[in-house]
Amino acid sequence: MKKKQSQPITDEILYQMGVYFPPGMPASESFSGNTDFLKGNRIISLKRESTYKAMLPKLNIHSFLNLPFPMVDYYSASHYDNIIKVIGKFIQAKLCKIKNEDSLAVQGIPFLSNLAGIYKDKLSFSFPNPEEHGGAEIAAATLKTSHILRVELIGSEKIEFYGGIGSTSKRKMGFYHMRSNPNYNIGISNVIDFLAHMSVCNCLYSIISEDISPLISNIFSKELNELNVDINDHTLSTPLIRFLNDKEAVPLEFLFRRINRQDGHLPSYYYSPDYTLYSKLVYLFYQVADVFQDVQNEFQHRESLHKKIATAYITKKNIPISIQKAMDSSGFHNYFGYVEFDEDVDLDAVRKIEEEYKAINKQYFSGSSFMEVTLRFRKLGKHKASGLYYPSIRNLCVDIQTPSSFIHEHFHMLDEQLGDLSLEVDFDAIVKAYKAEFLRGMQNLDPAVTKKLKGSSKYNLKYFFRRAEIFARCGEIYFNRILKVKSSLLEPTLTYAYPESEELNRLIEKYYKQLLNELSSSAVIKRAV
């Protein structure tokens, strides 16, 4: 039998197989002495976990954060009504399915207990039958609905009130009785409103008690500082400040107006949320919900990208020799770990943009290289994009017909490479200003464009308001409008997706100037040769 001739396995082949030995170290080497080198848990991966991915499960437990809150001007005073209305609509839809005590036990109590959260031991709920319960009978007659919810506050004294589920009655909150029995009064209130406010307080307490992220912590701290300055009524502000500063739950009693006995009765408006207190709480909730939806949108976007990456990142087969030689000798190798050109690229044009990038990188990116990143110039027609950056595999793809998308994708890469900068505290002011100016600018757009932005198409508000997308676009604004950079790698004309205002420009200039100055000291990025 003819003996097969063996071929040595080179280091390059081993490396491609996922096996790598540092230079000078053989594949097998004997060691003596201690063999346990673990310090704590075994490290199974060196890949840095995405901040977006890490934050999502911590926030996802709070169902209200995922509700479809309207995208309005971030600085608008309408947040209070909008948030309460959306939460109230959600609660009412759930409770409308509960018609009796039987369904209350199966569906209602678990839902209401989860709603109450930290307050669940201080409240009791029931759906009394108006035909069997005097208080429910009065409430049903007053509110013109048989679907009545009774709420009892369990404390030092018994406080109860009734409300209608799905009632359209315009009756004001207060005390009501049957004409036949004026001595038996019951309190009627907007229970949906009460439950909405309670759920906001519960959700915020849960979040503030957890170490979710510096960004969330900063939102709470900033609100606390503003409250300490703006609110002079210490009687009113004390519980809220204790809530933010000492992580104490807002007392349930503050969901009710101060209890004052009047001839044995509660005052007419015993439940009347103080506008200042609750508007602050609800605005705080809005900010947290906004961050959550940003995180969720970006996570979903990256997951979607990951499922569609096959054709965009796999190196083509049978690349012409001339193109292969150009790839191997490309100056982009000084900055990226691997470089690929489509067979239809103009090699002379590629060499010119190499020189442009070299000059831009030296002047603005401190000569930084990104050896974990693959750069590909491809046809991206099927992806309906001029450029793409895949965070999961660190591939920067530029369509050969739109090299002007390069800088945009470059900022996407910077964002991810430096640890998801778009989720850091320092970038939050730009996010708020960008969204506000974008929404204001929409008022002057063609109605067809506005309809598309508010719709469910790929390029809608949800897309433009992703924090990572804002990071890339504001990077372009910095280069285009502020630095006045002219390059084939940068889009020369900025559209409505690049809003402009003095305040936004000021924030962008301050942030990106500092960021680019700090690149040379980054542990993630190496200096190009």
User: Model's pTM, two decimal places?
Assistant: 0.76
Write down the mean pLDDT value for the chain: 78
Q: SS3 helix, strand, coil % of the chain, rounded to 5?
A: 50, 10, 35
CA distances from 109 to 96, 100, 121, 165 (A): 13, 12, 12, 15
Token duo for residue 175? 């005390």
- Express each pLDDT in 86-126 by its tens digit: 999 999 998 988 876 677 777 888 888 888 888 888 888 88
pLDDT in tens, 37-70: 444 544 433 344 566 666 666 666 667 787 888 7
- Once rounded to an integer, what is the mean pLDDT over residues 341-345? 90
How many whole angstroms separate alpha carbon 21 and alpha carbon 7?
19
Query: What gap in Å lies between CA 24 and CA 10, rounded to an integer?
Result: 14
CA–CA dist 327, 475 (Å, integer): 28
| Residue 29 banded pLDDT, cuts 50, 70, 90 | very low
- Higher-confidence residue: 485 or 10? 485
Contact 165, 190 (CB under 8 A): no
Place of tokens 């929409």: 442
> Looking at 181-185, 273-277, 389-393, 412-416, which range is the least confident one?
273-277
Contact indicator for 56, 296 with CB cutoff of 8 Å: yes
Which amino acid would we find at residue 258? R
Report DSSP state, residue 397. Answer: E
139-162, pLDDT tens digit by residue? 999 998 888 999 988 876 677 889
Which of the two residues, 189 and 211, has the higher pLDDT score? 189
Residue among 412, 180, 230 at smallest CA distance from 305: 412
Q: Model confidence over 248-304: pLDDT tens digits?
A: 777 776 666 543 333 444 444 444 445 566 677 788 888 888 888 888 888 878 777
Q: At what angle do helices 406-417 and 467-477 cross, to 10 degrees?
A: 130
Give CA–CA dist 474/468, Å, rounded.
10
User: 10 Å Cβ neighbour count for 242?
Assistant: 14
Note the pLDDT of residue 467: 93
Of the ranges 123-132, 160-169, 342-351, which one carries the lowest mean pLDDT score?
Answer: 160-169
Contacts of 440 (CB under 8 A, 6+ apart): 73, 499
Q: Is pLDDT above 70 for 434?
A: yes
Q: Specify the residue for token string 């346990």.
A: 36
Total residue count of the chain as it appears in this document: 529
Comparing CA positions, the residue from 96, 181, 180, 192 lying closest to residue 151 is: 192
Are the C-beta atoms of 468 and 415 separated by less than 8 Å?
A: yes
32 pLDDT band, cuts 50/70/90, is: very low
Domain locations along the chain: 46-285, 308-527
Choice between 246 and 365, residue whose per-residue pLDDT is larger: 365
pLDDT for the residue 110: 85
Residue 331's pLDDT band, with cuts at 50, 70 and 90, is very high
The reported pLDDT for the residue numbered 182 is 84
String of b and e for 418-450 (b: at least 16 CB within 10 Å)?
A: bebbbbbeebbebbebbbbbbbeebeeeeeeee
Average pLDDT over residues 382-402: 83
**Displacement of CA 8 from its chain's centroid (Å):** 52
What pLDDT, on a 0 to 100 scale, did the predictor assign at position 432? 92
DSSP letter (8 states) at residue 187:
E
Rounded to an integer, the average pLDDT of 389-409 is 91
Single out the residue of 374, 464, 454 nearest to residue 413, CA to CA: 374
Q: How far apart (Å, rounded) are the C-alpha atoms in residues 79 and 283?
A: 6
Instruction: Name the more confident of 217 and 35.
Output: 217
Residues contacting residue 154 through CB under 8 Å, at least 6 positions apart: 121, 122, 123, 124
The pLDDT of residue 186 is above 80: yes
Rounded Cα distance, 525 and 516, in Å? 12
CA–CA separation, 429 and 280 (whole Å): 19
How many whole angstroms from its chain centre is CA 489?
A: 29
Amino acid at 218: N
Per-residue pLDDT of 464-503, as tens digits, reads: 999 999 999 999 999 999 999 999 999 988 888 999 999 9
In this structure, what DSSP letter does residue 254 have?
G
The Cα 351–Cα 329 span in angstroms is 10
Instruction: Provide the pLDDT for residue 474.
Output: 97
Q: Which residue has the higher pLDDT, 488 or 313?
A: 488
Please tell me the predicted confidence (pLDDT) of residue 248.
76
Residue 463, both tokens = 């897309």
Q: Which residue has the higher pLDDT, 175 or 256?
A: 175
Over its C-alpha atoms, the chain yields an Rg (Å, rounded) of 30
* Integer CA distances (angstroms), 153 to 91, 158, 204, in order: 19, 6, 21
Task: Give the Cα separation of 437 and 430 in Å (integer).
Answer: 10
Q: Which of 66-70, 187-191, 326-330 has the lowest mean pLDDT?
A: 66-70
Residues of the chain with pLDDT > 70: what percent?
73
Max mean pLDDT among 71-85, 235-249, 353-367 falls in 353-367
Q: What is the DSSP letter of 462?
A: H
Phi, psi dihedrals of residue 331, rounded to the nearest 5°: -65, -15
For residue 3, pLDDT over 60 is answered with no
Please determine, for residue 24, whether its predicted confidence score (pLDDT) is greater than 50.
Answer: no
In one-letter notation, the amino acid at residue 145 is T
pLDDT band for position 453 (cuts 50, 70, 90): confident
Q: What pLDDT, on a 0 to 100 scale, did the predictor assign at position 72?
A: 56
pLDDT tops 80 at residue 338: yes
The pLDDT of residue 330: 94
pLDDT at 384: 62
Please report the pLDDT score of residue 509 as a whole number: 97
